[in-house]
Structure 1
Amino acid sequence: MQNATYNNRYILAISFISALGGYLFGFDFAVISGALPFLRIVFELDAWWEGFLTGSLALGCIVGCLIAGKLSDSYGRKFGLFGAALIFAVSSFGMAIAPQLETFVVMRFLSGIGVGMASMLSPIYIAEISPAQVRGRNVAINQLTIVIGILITNLVNYKLSILGEDSWRWMFGLGVVPSLLFLIGIVWLPESPRWLIAKGRLEEARAVLLRFGNSAVVEKTVDEVVNSNKETSPISFKEVLHKSVRPAVVIGVTLAIFQQFCGINVVFNYTSTIFESIGASLDQQLFETVSIGIVNLLFTLVAMWQVDKLGRRPLMLIGALGLAITYVVLAFLLQNQISSVLVSIFVLLSISVYATSLAPVTWVLISEIFPNRVRGMATSLAMVALWSAYFILVFTFPILAEKLGTYGPFYLYAGICVLGFVFVLRKVKETKGQTLEELEGNFRH
C-alpha cells in the first residue's frame, strides 16, 4: 500500500496566505495605542468615549464571529476569508477619512467584524488543510502573523507620530495595504477539502487534495472525513450543544475565556499605565512597548518549534503556572515601588511565558477539538466567548487599578491562572499527531 506523502511546501505557503488575516488582527489590535493621543484631541474624547471607541473593536469581533460560523459552514472557508479581507480594506479607509467621532466608531466596529471573522476562519482553514504531524506548527503561524502585525504597527505608529495632528489618519489608512494583499492572496487559495467533502463535492475535494499530496493522501482524507460526516441534515445551534459534542464545546469556550482572563492583554494595552505607576519616564514607557513586541515575536517562534514536539497540554500547563508565579512577583514589585528594571524583567517574562503557551496553543486547540460537522459553528461560539472576555478584561482593569492599586489586579489574574492550570490538568487531552477525525472521539467523553 502506498504511503501518504504530503506537499508540505505548498501547504505551508497557503497557510501563510490564510494567516495574513492574523496580521490584520494584530494591526487593528495595536494601531489604536499609537492613535489614541491624537484621537483624544481631534474628537475631544472624554473617558467614556475613549473606552467605548477602544472597545468597539471587540464588540465588532463578537458580531464577526457569529457571522463567520454560519457563512463558512454554508458557503465555505474561502468565501468567509474573502469577506473578512474586504471588510478590513473598507473599514481601514473609512477610519482614515472619518470626519466625526460617530463615523469613526462605526468604522472601528466594522473593522472588528473583519477581525472576528478572520480570528476564527484563518485557524480553522489552516487546521483543515494541514497534516496531523505539523498541524500545530501551521496553525501557530496565525499567532506569528498576529505578533508580527502588532510589532510592525507599533514601529510604524512611532514613525508616523511626527506628522502631527493628522498622524492617526495615516496610521489607520495604511491598513488598506495589507488588506488588499490579503484579498489578492485569497483568490489563489483552494477551498478547504474537508468542507468540500462535507458538502458532497468529492471530485473538487480530490482535485484540491492532489495538490496537497499523493493519491494515498487523497483517499485517506476522503475516507476519514466521509466517515465523520455521515449526517447530511442542516446544522443547528442545538446540535452544537448536544451531549455528544458538549464536552469539546465546554473545553473550547473555557480555554478561550481563560486566554483573556489570564490578564496578559492588560500588559499589552496598559503598558504605559503600569510603568507610570512606578515613576517611569515617557521614553521608558515607549521603550517597554517596543521591547514587549520583540519578546512576543521571539517566543512565538519558540512556541511554533515546540507545539508539535512537546505538545499542547504541557505548554498550556507550563503557561498557566508560569504566569501565576510571574504575576505574584510583578504585583509585589509594583506594590512596593521596587526598581523599574525588575518590573521590566518580569513584564517581559510574563510576555515570553504567554507567547510560548497560552497565546498560540489556545488557537491551535480551538481549531482542532471540534467535530468536522459542527466545527464552524462551535468555533464561532468559542470566539464569541473569547472576545466577550477580552472586552470585560480591558474595561475592568482601570476600575480595579483605581480601587486596588495598579498591582492589585495581578494578584487576581494569578489566581485565575491557578484555576486555569487545574482545568487543563483535569479536562484537556493531548492532541498532537492525531488527525482531526481521530480527535473527534477523544473529546466526546
Structure 2
Amino acid sequence: MKEQTLKTQNEVTWTLICSVFSSVLGSVQVGFHTGNINSPQMIIEAFFNVTWMLRYGERMSPHMLTLLWSLTVSILALGATISSFFVAMLANHFGRRKSILMINLFSLFAVVLMSASKMANYIELLIVGRFVMGLFCGLAMTLIPLYIQEVAPTHLRGAFSTMNQLSYAMGIFIGQVVSLESVLGTDKWWPFMLTMSIVPAILQMLTLPFCPESPRYLFINCQREQEGVQELQRLRGTPDVWGEVGEMKEEAAQLLDAPEVTLCQLFTLPSYKRPIVITFVINCSTQLSGFNALINYSTKIFLGAGVPHAQLTTLGVGIVNILSIIMSVLLVEKTGRRTLLLIGQLTMAFCNILLVISVATMDLIGPYVFLIFASVLLGAALYTWFQVPETKGRTFKDVAAEFHQADPILMNNTNKLEPRQAPRGH
C-alpha cells in the first residue's frame, strides 16, 4: 500500500507539465536574445555607421565601432548581473509564479526600445534595450529554475530542471534561425526580428496564472498550509500528499528554530561557506566556459578561421547545444548531476584547447583567450570532483543537513535554542 501511495504521488501530471512548460517560456526569451545578435552583426554595425554619419558627419572609426558593438553584446550580461541581486527579495515577497509573470514587463519594454532604435536613428535605444532585456534575463534564469525545483517531485527534479536549460538552448537556436540574412536578419527587417520574443512572453502571461504556486513557498515563506496542500494536490493529481507535506512542515520548523546568521558568518561558517563556494565555482565554470563567447561571436570567429557558410555553421552550434541538453535530460536521473557536470566541464575544456589550435585570428590576445576558458573549466572540474556533493534523489532538507553536519558551532547554537512554535495555516 505504501509503495502504491508513493507511486501515485510521484506520477507526472498534466498540471505539472503545463506549469513547467509555461514557466520555461521565459527561458526561451532569454535564449532568443542571446542567439539573435550574432549573425546580423555586420548589418547592425552598418546601422551604427549610418547613424554616426548623420549625427557627426563622418564615419565611425573601427576602434569606436568595435567598442560600441562589444558594449551592445555584453551589456545584456551587465543587466543580468545587476538584477540577480534582487531575485530573493522578489521571489519571497511576491511568490515564484507571480514574480515570473511580473518580470515580463522588462522583456516587453526592452523589445519596444530595441525595435525603435532604427526608426529613431538612436544607437542608444538598442544598447539600453539590451540592458533592460538583461535585467529580465538575470531574474528569469534564477526564478524559473527555483519554481521548477519546488513544484517537481524529488526523484524527477533533475530532469525537470534540465528543461529550463533545454528551453534556453531552443531560444538560442530560434534566435539564430530568424536572424539569418535569408529570414529576418536584413537591413530592413532586423528591428522586427528583435520583437519576436514577444510571442513567448504573451503566451506565458496567458497561461502561467492558471498554474499552481510553489507549495514550498506557501508553506515555508507564507505559512499558508491549507493553500499549500491544495496546490500540491493539483500538481500531484492526488489528495494523498501528506508525505511531502510532512517534509515541508519539518523544514519550516527547522528554519524557525535556526539562529540568525550575520554576513560575516555567512562566509565563514562551513555550513554556509561551502555551498556558497560551490555555487560560485559552478557558475564561474558556466559563464567563463567560452560558450557565451562562441554563441555571441561564432559567425565572426568562423569567418576569421576561413570556414565557409559561417552563419550555417553557427546554426550547427545551436543544434549540437540542443542535442547535448536532450542527452542530459535522459541521463541526469541515472548518472547524477555531479557526474554530468564533470563530463561537461572536461569536454568543454578540451574543446577550448581545440579552438586555440584552429582559430587563426582574434583581437587582443588572439585565440589564446580560449586557454583562459579551458583553465577555468579544468579548475572547476577538480573542485567538482573533490568538493561538490551529489544531489540525485535527495530532498532540500537532506542536502542542507549534509552541510550543517560540517559545522558543529551552528549545530550547538541551534541545540541551545528553545523550540519555537511551528507555523500554522491561515
Q: TM above 0.5, one fold?
A: yes
Quick one: which of 258, 273, 276 aligns to 2:303? 276
Distance change >3 Å, CA 308–CA 208, structure 1 → 2: same
If you compute each CA radius of gyration, which structure gives the higher value, 1 or 2?
2
TM alignment of 1:67-106, pairs within 5 A: 67-98=86-117, 99=120, 100-106=122-128
How far did 1:22 drift?
0.9
**Aligned-pair distance for 1:234?**
9.3
TM-aligned CA distance change 1:7 to 1:411, over 3 Å? same
The residue that corresponds to 2:229 in the other structure is 206
Pairing of 1:1-400 with structure 2 (within 5 A): 2=2, 3-4=5-6, 5-9=9-13, 10-44=15-49, 46-98=65-117, 99=120, 100-158=122-180, 161=183, 164-198=186-220, 199-213=222-236, 214-231=240-257, 240-241=266-267, 243=269, 244-281=271-308, 284-334=309-359
Secondary structure of 1:8 counterpart: coil
Question: 2: CA distance between counterparts of 1:237 and 1:194?
Answer: 25
Matches of 1:160 and 1:94 in 2, distance apart?
Answer: 24
Output the aligned Cα RMSD: 2.4
SS of structure 1 residue aligned to 2:306: coil
Query: Which string of whole-angstrom CA distances, capped at 9 and with x for unpartnered residues, describes residues 87-125 of structure 1?
Result: 212221221123212222222211111111101000011
Structure 1 residues 174-183 or 263-272, which shifts more? 263-272
Q: Distance in 1 between matches of 2:265 and 2:228?
A: 25
Report if aligned partners of 2:38, 2:297 keep a CA contact under 8 Å in 1.
no
In 1, Cα distance between equivalents of 2:388 and 2:132: 35
Tell me how far 1:273 sits from its aligned partner: 3.1
**Superposed CA offset, 1:266-296 (max 9, x none):** 2222222332333223xx2112111111111
Letter of the structure 1 residue corresponding to residue 135 of structure 2: I
Q: What is the identity, as a one-letter code, of the residue corresponding to 2:363? A: E
**What SS class does the counterpart of residue 389 from structure 2 fall into?**
coil
Whole-angstrom distance in 1 between the partners of 2:215 and 2:325: 28
Query: Which amino acid in structure 1 is aligned with residue 248 of structure 2?
Result: V
Secondary structure at the counterpart of residue 256 of structure 2: coil
Residue 135 to residue 233, structure 1, CA distance change in 2 (3 Å)? same
Give 1:235 shift.
9.1
Cα deviation digits, residues 341-373 of structure 1 (max 9, x gap) = xxxxxxxxxxxxxxxxxxxxxxxxxxxxxxxxx
Taking a change above 3 Å as real, the CA distance of residues 248 and 163 of structure 1, as seen in their structure-2 partners, is closer
Q: Provide the secondary structure at the position in 2 that maps to 1:97.
A: helix
Q: For structure 2, list consecutive stretches of 5 or more residues without a partner in the other structure.
A: 50-59, 407-426
Change in 2 beyond 3 A, CA 1:190/1:95: same
- Could you say what secondary structure the match of 2:211 adopts? coil
Secondary structure of the structure 1 residue equivalent to 2:352: helix
In structure 2, the residue corresponding to 1:14 is in which secondary structure?
Answer: helix
Q: Which moved more, 1:91-100 or 1:325-334?
A: 325-334
* Cα separation, 2, equivalents of 1:225 and 1:12: 26
Higher helix share: 1
Q: Could you tell me which amino acid in structure 1 is paired with residue 249 of structure 2?
A: D
Q: CA deviation at 1:170?
A: 0.8
**Structure 1 residues without counterparts, runs of 5 or longer:** 336-397
Assess if the C-alpha contact under 8 Å between 1:35 and 1:171 holds in 2. no
Distance verdict in 2 for CA 1:240–1:131, change over 3 Å = farther
Note closer, same or farther for the CA distance 1:327–1:41 as it changes in structure 2 (3 Å cut).
closer
What secondary structure sits across from 1:229 in the alignment? helix
Letter in 2 for 1:256: N
Shift of 1:37: 2.6
- 2:52 corresponds in structure 1 to none
Is 1:405 paired with 2:399?
no
Change (3 A) 1:236 1:57: farther
Q: Give me the TM-score of the superposition, normalised by structure 2.
A: 0.82
- Counterpart amino acid of 2:287? Q
Change (3 A) 1:330 1:108: closer
Provide TM-score, normalisation by structure 1.
0.79
Q: Provide the rounded CA distance (Å) in 2 between the counterparts of 1:403 and 1:90.
A: 35
Number of residues of Structure 1 aligned to a counterpart in Structure 2: 378
What amino acid maps onto 1:251 in structure 2?
A: I
Letter in 1 for 2:85: L
CA drift at 1:221: 3.9
* Partner Cα separation in structure 2 for residue 235 and residue 409 of structure 1: 40
